[in-house]
Amino acid sequence: MNQIEALENLVAYFRALPGVGLKTAQRYAYKIINSESSFAEGFSNAILDAKKKIGYCKECGNFTDREVCEICSERNPKVICVVREPKDVVAIEKAKNFNGVYHVLHGTISPLENRGPNDIRIKELLERISKYQTQEVIMATNPDVEGDATALYIAKLLKPLGVKVTRLAQGVSMGSELEYADEVTLARAIEARREI
């Protein structure tokens, strides 16, 4: 079989994307080669541009192209919703019934993966709570073992500070991924959040 180096190289990059196998990577590469040059140039620039311009909000840790993201600049920091990943912010924003700010932990506590409280953004959360005199923290980590453990750990830290800590209500099903919950389920879960 003839090996075309430039093709193999592009296929290898596509395979590095999450969930992409060899055949899918080949289809993606063929699409690039079969398209207009302007598509390849635009795609190439979009990757560089996203990597260059997008960083983490110094407040909440979500992706942003500014120093402080739009949500943190405009909304009330008295209520903070704590999530694991930036994509969870997207999911909760779709529910359209939360007006506070977010805090992205970038992970959950996981002894199995050797990730402790100091490896996720808990210190930054405590700083924000004292800086803004936050009244309520909604724990919106995934409803699975690690998400629950992280929520409980943070709740225990915050109780002595007099902060109300709540957890998303029943409605998000056990073992599922927050990212795939539908808007109505997430909206109900926010409405019926309970103190822990």
Binding site for its own copies (CB under 8 A): 1-2, 4-7, 9-10, 12-13, 16-19, 23-24, 26-33, 35, 37, 39-54, 63-65, 69-71, 85-87, 90, 93-94, 179-180
28 vs 153, beta carbon nearer its own copies: 28
Cα separations in angstroms, 176 against 60, 128, 141, 148: 24, 29, 11, 12
For strands 164-167 and 194-195, give the pairing.
antiparallel
96 vs 156, beta carbon nearer its own copies: 96
CB of 169 vs its own copies, minimal distance in Å: 22
CA distance 113 to 127: 26
CB of 90 vs its own copies, minimal distance in Å: 7
45 vs 76, beta carbon nearer its own copies: 45
CB of 7 vs its own copies, minimal distance in Å: 6
CB of 16 vs its own copies, minimal distance in Å: 7
Q: Name residue 130's amino acid.
A: S
